[in-house]
Structure 1
Amino acid sequence: MRRGNEADEGRRPAPLETADDEVVRFTSDLIRIDTSNRGGGDCRERPAAEYVAERLADAGLEPRILESAPGRANVVARISGTDPSAPALLVHGHLDVVPADPADWTVHPFSGEVRDGLVWGRGAIDMKNTDAMVLALARDWARTGRAPRRDIVLAFTADEEDSAVHGADFLVRRHPDLFEGCTEGISESGAYTFHAAAPGGERVRLYPVGAGERGTAWLRLTARGTAGHGSKVNRDNAVSALAAAVARIDAHRWPVRLTPLTRAAITEVAAAMGVKVDLDAPEFDPERDLDALLERLGTASALLASTVRNSANPTMLDAGYKVNVIPGTASAGVDGRVLPGAEDEFRTTMDELTGDRVSWGYRHSSPALMAPVQSPTFAAMRAALLAHDPEAHVVPVCMSGGTDAKQFSELGIVGYGFSPLRLPPSLDYAALFHGVDERVPVDALRFGLRVLDRFLTTVE
């Protein structure tokens, strides 16, 4: 609940008058707090959580810092809406970031330096920028006396860049009451500018909004054989068996599976690009024709290509301790991603590809998600973006990876990827995401602030 605020006395500033400066400062400050998540519990979000909580408290809110383990802190606060009968909306963002090596960067990744109209550093895109937008907006509402119609639950989470066990998963299992009334949520990986070239050569600005995610299936493969001397013939070699299975997985071509979301995404992206497509035409065979269709969409196909099939990419190998010793076991890691409704097919295929010599199991799994695109919430997202970029094309997409929305879905919360940014053609969002020299334009932060403000104050 919001308490009284000294800013209510005297002249109230115009909406977003102060927030324009705060969103830049907060992004920079959060980047300077190193919350690198190296996995296996090696991360400390507490300093960032305290920073967030202090600024929410300054806005008259009552944030709660919730630790799942020493240093692994989350922050949750609720903003009261004007309509108590309306369902609540969750706005969540994570505080941890992936590691960064300063030797690879032009600017130190934890400097938060503002240079040439850009804020530089790890988290500038993923996703301390959005955390900063949410903080600045909450404070602006308090200063200006404005409020959303729906209750807004703010959640700043730990551990999204690993398994979420210390973050969203902990909150869902231990503190579900904090999300009472939430029916929908928004978070990262959507509503950024994607610059594409139409077949005629004209430039098209797409804003992909995440309306689903493939499920996560991180696997561990294990082969067992007979240990022995490297100079002897050995037909029961665990390394050979594992290598053969990994090669089969790498070579496998997964069949096309068009979910209702991917069908909507293909149809709307094609329309924006001026490409005629009828996925229901009798002569259209997805298995035969889809790749050619994606080629016709040019660079825009990058929004779709990873979400029309399941996938399984070998990522780790572990075997042996000496070159002249054949080990008795060998293991591999595989990053699998699964479309909604294709879970059984994924398991059956992995059984076939690994064969009799190799066993496999889940190291970590989470469900695939789909959210409705013909909904008032999606319409409000589209309207908010078009209000600030009228020539844009807002399209739904399925995200190839995953977010904390998977954990919050266990509470019945439908998740969307909506972290608005207007980016110039010179900045490739996908390359910046977890990339070197991550940075965000100051103008993009202020654009996102306005789009979020419009969406959160108008969504029904």
Structure 2
Amino acid sequence: MSLYDDTLDLLRELIRNACVNDLTPSSGQEVRNADTLERFFADTPGVEIARYESAPGRVTIVVTVPGTDPAAEPLTLLGHTDVVPVDTDRWTTDPFGADIIDGRLYGRGAMDMLFITATMAAVTRDVARSGRPTGTLHFVGVADEEARGGLGAKWLSEEHPDAFSWRNCLSETGGSHLPVADGSDALVLVVGEKGAAQRRLHVTGDAGHGSNPYGRESAIAKIGEVARRIALIDVPVSEDPLWQGFVRAFRFSPEVEQALLDGTDTTAFEHFGELSRYAHALSRLTISQTVVRAGSAINVLPSSAILELDIRPLPGTTQDDVDAILTDALGDLADDVRIEHLITEPATVSPTSGPLYDALLATFDEFFPGVPVVPTVAAGGSDLRFGRRLGGVGYGFALHARQRTLGDVFAQLHTHDEHIDLEDLDLTVQAYRSLARRFLGV
């Protein structure tokens, strides 16, 4: 069979294994996909296979093709094997059936990110069958990415940092197209991701019977005022070159471009169309109020209330910076609010230069000659951040047909009837095989 056929068959099996991660330690059961991948590499000459189990059933598989030159640059293909839950009633196909309909493969994880994971595995096996590469190649089928890697990449980076090389990593996603204003083309290459600065804000009030509220301070009214003040925070637009390059890639009118770059007119984001929310997130630190809790019985005045914030900082913004922004917004209420840190992680970004980055640009140019490549930052997280923290570089890489925009890819993430166009699967397989030849010498 062809490399594409091998990839497609593997992808369908990975989807059917239904390794659903509901964020609990016993879910995921990526052992099923690890077993599938180990069978896939059975009898492949020259590969080394290792398995790492962080908790019962939470298995990551590492396949290594040793290089001939220890000094050559290694390459790690970091693909996760878990998927998010589904609302079966909202799907028009079996979410784990891996059905092919009108040139599309449907199934949970088809886009996020099993089509890339299957491609990585198939290309790794093809490289091994072609002879030893100059640089060492690792394929990693990682558990628990959808729960921020606590039982996957994070655990590996802390407990088994030498299981594979973190020096040059590829993962999700990239290679979609921007809807440039003048109709020309541009390709997306993900070079970094925003961080996490989750906060829980606590306030107190006077407890008592609901029938006697007079003279008592309401925790609910206080947390409501806290929420109002947080909502009024006006975060300035970033001056980061990645944001500025993203804006200029769209070739808007000078007036629109300037309004976006200096942040003088927030309605200018409407010019991004389907990418307006992503563009806004890329332009600044974002603060989303996501959870509020107070009280347990209708006849009891609660003595406390909390508000939880999902805050995503850009590279260069520290946790102290975030606390200062919140404290300033709270004003005279600041002394009455306790700020608790939840998940906190710095933003990470890789350089737009170096051997792997240059190889990615050359690969894009092979398939889309002369099309500019726009480096950008993901608003969410990926396993690549752990490699960057260990001193490596990491990029999101795939390849989509000209008509598939970044907005089209975003629309498939965690959605009902998730699918991948088979044309894009074929392009991604070709692109990864070409990159392996270019970067590893095989």
Under a length normalisation based on structure 1, what TM-score does the superposition of the two structures give?
0.86
Q: CA deviation at 1:216?
A: 1.3
| CA shift digits 1:159-191 (9 cap, x unpaired) | 1111311001110111111234x4221110222
Deviation at 1:153, TM superposition (A): 2.0
Counterpart secondary structure, 1:244: helix
Matched residue, 1:326 = 301
The answer to whether structure 1 residue 398 and structure 2 residue 377 are counterparts is yes
SS of the equivalent of 2:140 reads strand
Q: What's the secondary structure of 1:220's corresponding residue?
A: strand
Distance 2:132 2:66 in 1: 8
Please give the alpha-carbon distance, in whole angstroms, between the structure 2 residues aligned to 1:258 and 1:57: 50
Instruction: Provide the C-alpha distance between the structure 1 equivalents of 2:168 and 2:256, rounded to a whole number of angstroms.
Output: 31
- Letter matched to residue 317 of structure 1: V
Cα deviation 1:230-272 (Å, max 9, x = unaligned):
23235422222222222322332211122233233334x14xx
Cα distance in 2 between the residues matched to 1:49 and 1:326: 52
| Partners of 1:318 and 1:332 within 8 A in 2 | yes
Structure 1 contact 241–357 (Cα < 8 Å) conserved: no
Aligned residue runs from structure 1 range 90-239, under 5 A? 90-143=76-129, 145-180=130-165, 182-194=166-178, 196-198=179-181, 200=182, 202=183, 204-231=184-211, 232-233=213-214, 235-239=216-220
Segments of structure 2 that go 5 or more residues without pairing to the other structure are: none
On the 8 A contact 1:261/1:397 being kept in 2, the answer is: yes
* 1:19-418 equivalent positions in 2, closer than 5 A: 19-43=3-27, 44-60=29-45, 61-143=47-129, 145-180=130-165, 182-194=166-178, 196-198=179-181, 200=182, 202=183, 204-231=184-211, 232-233=213-214, 235-267=216-248, 269-270=249-250, 273=251, 286-289=261-264, 291=266, 304-343=279-318, 344-354=320-330, 355-390=334-369, 392-418=371-397
Query: Where do 5+ consecutive residues of structure 1 fail to align?
Result: 1-16
| Pair 41,243 (structure 1): closer, same or farther in 2 beyond 3 Å | farther
RMSD: 2.6
**CA-CA distance at 1:137 after TM superposition:** 0.9
* 1:432 to 2:412 alignment: yes
Query: What is the count of residue pairs matched by the alignment?
Result: 432
2:11–2:115 contact (8 Å) kept in structure 1: yes
SS state at 1:342 partner: coil
Which amino acid is 1:348 matched to?
A
Opposite residue 213 of structure 1, the aligned amino acid is E
Equivalent pairs: percent with the same residue? 30
- Residues 65 and 74 in structure 1, CA contact (< 8 A), matched pair in contact too: yes
- TM (norm. structure 2) is 0.89
Aligned partners of 2:252 and 2:358: how far apart in 1?
Answer: 22
SS in 2 for 1:362: strand
Task: Write the letter of the residue equivalent to 1:449.
Answer: V
Q: Out of 420, 425, 441, which is 1:445 matched to?
A: 425
Distance apart, 1:140 and its partner CA: 1.9
Question: 1:151, CA displacement in angstroms?
Answer: 1.4
Structure 1 CA distance, aligned partners of 2:411 and 2:261? 29
**Cα distance change on mapping 1:136 and 1:285 into 2, 3 Å:** closer
Amino acid at match of 1:346: V
Displacement of 1:99 after TM fit?
0.9
Provide closer, same or farther for how the CA distance between residues 109 and 169 of structure 1 changes in structure 2, counting only shifts above 3 A: same
- Residue 22 of structure 1 and its aligned partner are, at CA, apart by 1.4
Structure 2 Cα separation of the partners of residues 154 and 84 of structure 1? 18
Q: CA deviation at 1:128?
A: 0.8
Give 1:42 deviation, angstroms. Answer: 4.3
What residue identity is the alignment partner of 1:152? L
Query: CA distance change for structure 1 residues 234 and 414 in 2, over 3 Å: closer, same or farther?
Result: farther
Quick check: 2:238–2:283 contact (8 Å CA) kept in 1? yes
> In structure 2, do the counterparts of structure 1 residues 276 and 362 end up closer, same or farther at CA, with 3 Å as the change threshold?
same
User: In the alignment, residue 192 of structure 1 is paired with which amino acid?
Assistant: S
Q: Classify 1:23/1:333 alpha carbon distance in 2 versus 1 (closer, same or farther; 3 Å).
A: same
Whether the 8 Å contact between 2:237 and 2:263 is mirrored in structure 1 is: no
